Chains A and B, each alone.
Chain A
Amino acid sequence: MVVGEVAVETDVVVIGGGPGGYAAAIRLGQLGKSVVLIEKEVLGGVCLNRGCIPSKALIHTAGEYHKLSSLNKLGIQLPTEKATFHMPSWQTWKSSVVAQLNKGVDYLCQANGVTVVKGTATFLSSDRIGVETGGDFETYKFKQAIIATGSRPFIPSFLKTDGEYILDSTDMLALDEVPETLAIIGGGYIGMELGMAFAKLGSQVTVIEAAERILPQTAAHLSQEVLKQAKQLGMTIKIATKVEKTEVANGRVTLICTSEKNGSQSITAHKTLVTIGRVPNTGELGLAQAGVEMDERGNIPVTATGCTNKSHIYAIGDVTPGPALAHRATKQGIVAAEVIAGLPSSVDSPYVPYVIFTEPQIAGVGMTREEAELQGYKVKTATFPYRANGRALAMDEGEGFAEVIVDQESHLLLGMHVVGADASNLIGEGVLALELAARVEDVALTIHPHPTLSEVWLEAAEAVLGHAIHIVNKSKVAVSK
């Protein structure tokens, strides 16, 4: 600490300007608190700059590009010359999208009286924080603090990324050309999303997953649909396979892998993407000086209001135990802000939806059938296939299905999952239904607009009740033993 240092006093400091941090800061501003938001890079965090938005921009582009090859059957005659993809142009477009959003967040912070400070923050004590801003060091004295520093890709030491051959997801989204061959270590949602996008753009993609199947976080029958598509895209999927070693030589990366079934094998690609998890950014924060405790994984345990072991210091988003999802961080940020302002807010919902932008998309909320049975429920489930939905066929999107999981006795909805076109938007209905404690009849009796994909929920709900119109109902209702 500098002798004679003058600390700027503020009600709250928010460390990290990602979707959790900036939402918290804006809400605090709305509630009349003085707020300093400290961000070491650009507002918007991983989500806006290196995660959700850039990756969805790429996935959207890849999807559009890939569709060109199937337009012929819809009667669209393209010029005989083959379409090409120019990645530098995509980068320019992506940057404009990100910049527009950055500007929006910046404007909203200003409009709500949030002071944005660019720099790296370190706790000096339980009520002071220092910020390195280029050549300067500023100190802030706070009444409350919100830690929202997020997470970064986990890269094991033997897979050291070099930004050129061995890449993390951030590097991958910054590429200026589509790699001819691409090896992806990790068949989780980031690996499969980016892998499928690059496959659509022309890469020869090999996914190496240590678990028994890709997308191990989702139910097997949902990930199965993605596996089918991956194969159609010409991707090579190696499950139950571990990467032991990497070697870079002659402009290629060679991965030495082992599996019980196939023994040792090597895979060579122009680029390798490592997506095997994320770790919280808590190591450099000086949490010990603030007295904030972490668990053995570096996560900060919090209560439902985001409170850490220090009652005036909150933590939200990826630094807290739980799935690293932007919408979870945003909710936690708003709740922490409201609690600081004295409002009775709480993150008390188990219904955190997930969305995977693979081909087809997967989205869900609540329990899977297996989870519900594990919890002791006797469940009924039913699925409704996209191929029986008029709109899906008219969109040439007949792959996938919607599934509802229902408590057999009360008919309360326990989970809703969908794999298929636009699943990411369709799950909104599921989240609302579960939050409103809907029974399956509530969905079945609701008029859904026709012709839309949303009818898959209507029909799946009716199928649970044994009277779906557009599929044969007998034996479609699965009842747990």
Chain B
Amino acid sequence: MVEFKLPDVGEGMHEGEIVKVLVRRGESVQQDQPLLEVQTDKVNAELSAPVTGIIREILIAEGETVEVGTTLLVIDAGTDAKKEETKLPEKVVNPDKTVNFAPARADHRRSLATPYIRQLAREMKLDIELITGTGAAGRVTEEDLRQFSNRLQKSAPAKFPTTAPGNERLLEASTVGVETEPVVQPKTGSATRVATSSLGDIERLPLKGIRKKIAEHMVKSVTIIPHVTSVDELEMDQLRALREKLKPHADKRNIKLTFLPFFIKALVIALKEFPTLNASIDDRTNEILLKRFYHIGIATDTPEGLIVPVIKDADHKSIFQLAEEIDQLARLAREAKLTMEHITGGTFTISNVGPIGGLQATPIINHPEVAIISLHKMEKRWVVCEDEGVIRWMMNLSLSFDHRLIDGVTAVRFTNRIKELLEDPNLLFAEMV
């Protein structure tokens, strides 16, 4: 039997939501055949069978959030349904072959566990007879109890009983949730509850999936990082003119040219000059990690929430290449097809809320990065130019930075440099490698 556990499909990931179970109990599967769809830190991943065999048990339900290392399925390796059919009569004819500890144990009515573990199981309200022991000779260990408890609570919370003192019949009832094929169970957390308070109706929704991830990530970021936000405004006329010039060339190559590639280019140039903004802090060792690579995250709005795909090695890519990649990543994000590879490893993030609106913001840094820039709405404004009021295309940008590492002066110099590069795009080209 092969226990198929939730692998760590990405850096730092510790749990994932089972979006879809693609197989059924008793189904024969081939190696590499997709078994489950799991939504982890902002990506959907398809997990495939490590071996050819038969699905013996499905231990999770769709909608369930499970930790890395949790057993999801049990696969009887090396067999398939056809082979098993031919094997069955043999088992009946020759019962000696099938004698193993399991039926004997059933007769003895006891799983293998020490008295302490039994006591612990009772405390955790678990029926120890249902737990597969991973200890020596199949003994149930403390860890087995924990794993089982996690699975049980996540798969069938409604069926998990409160055991009244003296009523172990209820404890037996807790087994129902495990015996039932989890695939048909209602999606955990999908239920909403409307309660009436003195203030009015309140709808309760589970905080789960990507939203839960974002919430956790944001809390972590603001808890660790002392945020400071600096706001500046840019004149965009020259950049707009340049973009208009380049657009027909881009169109010919079927490239959707936005302002973002220009920003990325400017950003990379500035980051090279201000290396602390492309750094991170190792909180364990209190070291500053200056990164000599430039992986730029682009915060992207999707129906599921904010996702940050990363453009790797942005300093080695042309404006057109960047434009192409941005388009491609945005599409993958909207279709929820990003992989862990797409969203990890960023060194700096751009949040582009310009198309929506807003003057300024305090963007929250994508920990462990140390700064984030937010681009706002581009609009015509009255500005004073050489003592005269003129109309210009203007845009605000907000830079949040980690004040542990970056001083206000550095941050403003950094935005000044970006401003300089974007207000006169010729400079941008002059600096380009």
A339 to B165, CA, bound (A): 5
Which A291-349 residues have C-beta < 8 A from chain B? 303-307, 311, 314, 339-346, 348-349
Residue ID in chain A nearest B124 by CB atoms = A344
Scan residues 121-162 of chain B and give those whose CB is less than 8 A from a CB of chain A.
Answer: 122-123, 125, 136-139
- Among the stretches A257-265, A276-284, A435-443, A458-466, the one at the interface with B is A435-443
Q: Which partner residue on chain B sits nearest A367 by CB separation?
A: B108
Beta-carbon contact of A435 and B114 below 8 Å = yes
Chain-B contact segment, one of A19-27, A395-403, A404-412:
A404-412
Residues of B near A414 (CB, < 8 A) are 108
Q: Given the known A-B contacts A349-B115, A410-B137, are A375 and B107 also in contact in the complex, defined by CB atoms under 8 Å?
A: yes
Question: Does A350 lie at the interface of the complex (its beta carbon under 8 Å from any beta carbon of B)?
Answer: yes
Nearest-CB distance from B134 to chain A (Å)? 14
Q: How far is the CA of A437 from the CA of B108 in the complex (A)?
A: 12
B139 neighbours in A (Cβ, 8 Å): 437
B106-120 to A contact mask, C-beta < 8 Å, 1/0: 011110111100110
Q: Which of B115, B137, B138, B163 contacts A344 (CB 8 A)?
A: B163
Residues of B within 8 A of A343 (CB): 165
Which residues in chain A, 345-360, are within 8 Å of chain B measured between CB atoms? 345-346, 348-350
- Of all chain A residues, the one with the shortest Cβ separation from B128 is A348
CB distance from A301 to the nearest CB of B (A): 14
Whose C-beta in chain A lies nearest to the C-beta of B96?
Answer: A378
B109 to chain A, nearest CB (A): 7
Say if the beta carbon of A449 comes within 8 Å of chain B: no
Cα–Cα distance between A306 and B104 once the two chains are bound (Å): 27
Q: Judge whether B104 and A377 touch: CB under 8 Å.
A: yes
Chain B proximity of A287: nearest CB distance (Å): 18
| A156 interface hit (Cβ, 8 Å) | no
User: Bound complex: CA of A435 vs CA of B115, how far in Å?
Assistant: 6
Q: Is there contact, CB below 8 Å, between A376 and B104? A: yes
The answer on a CB contact under 8 Å between A437 and B119 is no
CA distance A340 to B100 in the complex (A): 40
Chain B: CB-nearest residue to A341:
B165
CB proximity to A under 8 Å, residues B316-355: none
Bound-state CA distance A339–B166 (Å) is 6
- Asked whether A311 lies within 8 Å of B166 as measured between CB atoms, the reply is yes
Candidates B108, B118, B166; contact of A303 at CB < 8 Å: B166
Considering the complex, give the chain B residue whose CB is closest to the CB of A435: B115
Contact residues in B for A410 (Cβ distance below 8 Å)? 101, 104, 137-138
Structural contact, A340 and B101, CB atoms closer than 8 A: no
Chain A positions within 8 Å of B114 at CB level: 435-437
Q: How close is A437's CB to chain B, nearest CB, in angstroms?
A: 4
Q: Which of A307, A378, A412 contacts B99 (CB 8 A)?
A: A378
Q: Across the interface, do A412 and B137 meet the contact criterion of CB distance under 8 Å? A: yes
- A437–B112 contact, CB under 8 A? yes
B389 at the interface (CB under 8 A from A): no
Best-surrounded residue of B100, B110, B125 (most CB of chain A within 10 A): B110
Question: Is the Cβ of A409 less than 8 Å from the Cβ of B122?
Answer: no
C-alpha gap A311/B138 in the complex (Å): 35
Tell me, yes or no, whether B103 is within 8 Å of chain A by CB. yes
Listed residue (B101, B137, B139, B165) with the most chain A CB atoms within 10 angstroms of its CB: B165
Closest to B113 in A: A437
Q: Is the CB of B137 within 8 A of A437?
A: yes
Proximity string of chain A (39-60) to chain B, C-beta cutoff 8 Å, 1 when within and 0 when not? 0000000000000000000000
Within the assembled complex, what's the spacing in Å between the Cα atoms of A311 and B169? Answer: 12
CA distance A311 to B166 in the complex (A): 7
Q: CB < 8 Å: which of A346, A349, A377, A411 contacts B168?
A: A346
**B167 part of interface (Cβ distance < 8 Å):** yes
Given known pairs A350-B109, A375-B107, A437-B114, the reply for A307 and B166 (CB within 8 Å) is yes
B115 touches A375 (CB 8 A): no
Distance (whole angstroms) from the CB of B116 to the closest CB of chain A: 9
The verdict on A305 contacting B115 (CB below 8 Å), with A346-B122, A437-B137, A437-B139 known, is no
User: What is the distance, in angstroms, from B143's C-beta to the closest C-beta of chain A?
Assistant: 16
Q: Min CB distance, B3 to chain A, in Å?
A: 20
Q: Nearest Cβ in chain A — how far from B51, in angstroms? A: 25
Task: Kindly report which residue of chain B lies nearest to residue A348, judged by CB atoms.
Answer: B118
Contacts of A349 in B (CB 8 A): 115, 118
Q: Mark B183-214, 1 if CB is under 8 A from A, else 0.
A: 00000000000000000000000000000000
Given A340-B165, A409-B100, A437-B139: A345 in contact with B122 (beta carbons within 8 A): yes
Q: With the chains together, A409 CA to B138 CA distance in Å? A: 13
- Distance of B152 from chain A, by nearest CB (Å): 16
Q: How far is the CB of A340 from chain B (nearest CB, A)?
A: 7
Whether B122 contacts A344 by the Cβ 8 Å rule is yes
Which residues from A are CB-within-8-Å of B103?
376
How far does the alpha carbon of A348 sit from the alpha carbon of B111 in the complex, in Å? 11
A152 to chain B, nearest CB (A): 28
Beta-carbon contact of A304 and B165 below 8 Å: no
Chain B residue numbers with a CB within 8 Å of A378 are 99
| A360 CA to B176 CA, complexed, in Å | 50
A306 to B119 alpha-carbon distance, docked (Å): 16
Using known A-B contacts A377-B104, A410-B101, A437-B139, determine if residue A304 contacts B115 with beta carbons closer than 8 Å. no
Q: Give B137 Cβ to nearest chain A Cβ, in Å.
A: 6
B165 with A342: CB separation less than 8 A:
yes
**Closest Cβ of chain B: how far from A346's Cβ, in Å?**
6
A49 CA / B139 CA spacing, docked (Å)? 42
List, in ascending order, chain A residues with CB within 8 A of B119's CB: 344-345
Separation of A412 and B104 alpha carbons in the complex (Å): 11
Distance, CA A304 to CA B172, complexed state (A): 12
**Proximity string of chain A (403-442) to chain B, C-beta cutoff 8 Å, 1 when within and 0 when not:** 0000101111010000000000000000000011101000
B282 to chain A, nearest CB (A): 44
Query: Are B168 and A303 interface neighbours, CB within 8 A?
Result: yes
- Which of the residues A307, A345, A375, A407 comes within 8 Å of B167, measured between beta carbons? A307
- Please give, as numbers and ranges, the residues of chain A lying within 8 Å of B137 by CB-CB distance: 410-412, 437, 439
Tell me the smallest distance from the CB of B166 to a CB of chain A, in Å.
4
Chain B residue at minimal CB-CB distance from A349? B115
Residues of A close to B125: CB separation below 8 A: 344
Q: In the complex, how many angstroms separate the beta carbon of A57 from the nearest chain B beta carbon?
A: 32
| Chain B residues within 8 Å of A346, by CB | 118, 122, 168
Q: How far is the CA of A431 from the CA of B129 in the complex (A)?
A: 21
Q: Which residue of B lies closest to A378 (CB)?
A: B99
B residues near A436, Cβ cutoff 8 Å: 114-115
User: Would you give the shortest CB distance from A466 to chain B, in whole angstroms?
Assistant: 19
Are A407 and B104 closer than 8 Å at their CB atoms? yes
- 6 A-B pairs with CB atoms under 8 Å apart are A340-B165, A340-B166, A350-B110, A378-B99, A412-B112, A437-B139
Add 17 more A-B contacts to A311-B167, A437-B112, A439-B136 (CB < 8 A).
A304-B168, A305-B168, A307-B166, A311-B166, A314-B166, A341-B165, A342-B165, A344-B119, A349-B115, A376-B103, A376-B104, A378-B99, A407-B104, A409-B100, A409-B101, A410-B101, A435-B114
Q: Which 8 pairs from chain A and chain B are nearest by CB? A: A344-B122, A437-B112, A307-B166, A375-B107, A410-B101, A305-B166, A339-B165, A339-B166
